[in-house]
Structure 1
Amino acid sequence: MLQVQFKKLPGNEDIVLPQKMSEWAAGYDVHAAVEEEVTLMPGERKLIPTGFAMAMPPELEAQVRPRSGLAYKHGITCLNSPGTIDADYRGEVKVLLANLGQEPFVITRGERIAQMVFQFVPQITIVESEELSETVRASGGFGHTGVK
């Protein structure tokens, strides 16, 4: 089992570290470490602090994703989703939230604002090639599967 180290940043001793809300959950809920309430107006985006930094082994990345309940009920999502946290980053984790809803949304200290999912990152070698193997799809792009 891999270990990920979390460090609460000064002044955030009251903020809960990321945690699974059910036994089989893939994501760890992340909490807001705002000093005072933050209002996110419709169409607005803000970077929300979490009050922690972390250290992962090099074979992992953490992906920050929206919470489905906030997205469905209020139109709150994470921009750059999933946002990648690289294994060598040691600064405070922050979440870029956007309000796609119709009403202002108030973020309070300790509120669950996103989820974090850990993924393996394969080590690959980039190889330049003059030719690529052929496929049925070939160069069919966005929305193209070759099937009608």
Structure 2
Amino acid sequence: MTSHRDGAPGPAPTGVRVLLQRLDPGLPVPAYAHPGDAGADLCTREDVELAPGERRLVGTGVALALPEGYAGFVHPRSGLAARHGVSIVNAPGTVDAGYRGEVKVCLVNLDPAEPVRLRRGDRVAQLVVQRVERAAFELVDALPGSARGEGGHGSTGYGAPVPAPAGEHHRTSAPVTAPGGG
């Protein structure tokens, strides 16, 4: 059985089985707001006031036992970000399969002027559970070539793609020129 937000029994689960310990019976368990949602809402365990630029680690009142080969990723809620400038410092936060402590969220108020008040039980983050692979790192003297090469950190430009002349690869933006054409 799974649970609705209020903890009442719900329909049989259709996804990966995650054991959940409710550390605070006064809070709802993580739940998906709509069918097809990727993230289950996590709530704050305490009242929180974040001054502009302030960050705070807040508990969610739940601990998890994720199956081996899975991890939980704690993402910001888009509404909090858009309306109040609240995000997560280490977004996404990672909950490893072997971790058994309370899931906590490191919130930050990015609004330059307004404090943010969150109340106990407010939805502050989303938990996305995903299958993960462990890498088998192999030390080599040189890496094989690729079309991208070492380009990174904005090397493909900015803005909308610009069509390339026939037979050439497209680029993602027009060349940048200094004012006055130079």
Q: Please classify the TM superposition score into its range, dividing by the shorter chain length.
A: over 0.9
Give the match for residue 21 of structure 1: 33
Q: Kindly state the Cα deviation for residue 2 of structure 1 after the two structures are TM-superposed.
A: 2.0
| 1:117 equivalent in alignment to 2:128 | yes
Match of 2:69 among 36, 59, 62: 59
Tell me which amino acid in the other structure corresponds to 2:33. M
Counterparts in 2 of 1:1-148, with a 5 A limit?
1-9=15-23, 12-34=24-46, 37-101=47-111, 102-145=113-156, 147=171
What's the CA shift for 1:85?
Answer: 0.7
8 Å CA contact 1:137–1:145 kept in 2: the answer is no
Deviation at 1:38, TM superposition (A): 1.7
Q: Distance in 2 between matches of 1:57 and 1:122?
A: 13
Q: Distance in 1 between matches of 2:25 and 2:41?
A: 17
What is the rounded CA distance, in whole Å, between the counterparts of 1:139 and 1:3 in structure 2?
Answer: 40
Structure 1 stretches lacking a partner, 5+ long: none
Q: SS in structure 1 opposite 2:102?
A: coil
Compute the displacement of 1:131 (Å): 2.2
Cα distance in 1 for partners of 2:102, 2:147 equals 45
- Alignment deviations for residues 38-95 of structure 1 (CA, whole Å, 9 cap, x no partner): 2111100000111111100111110101100000000000110011111100001110
TM-score normalised by the chain length of structure 1: 0.92
- 4+ aligned runs moved over 2 Å, structure 1: 145-148
For residues 13 and 39 of structure 1, what CA distance do their matches in structure 2 show?
23
Structure 2 segments unaligned to the other structure (5+ residues): 1-14, 158-170, 174-182
Query: Equivalent pairs: percent with the same residue?
Result: 42
CA root-mean-square deviation: 1.3
SS of match in other structure, 1:73? helix
Q: Deviation of residue 145 (structure 1)? A: 3.1
Q: So what's the TM-score if we normalise by structure 2?
A: 0.76
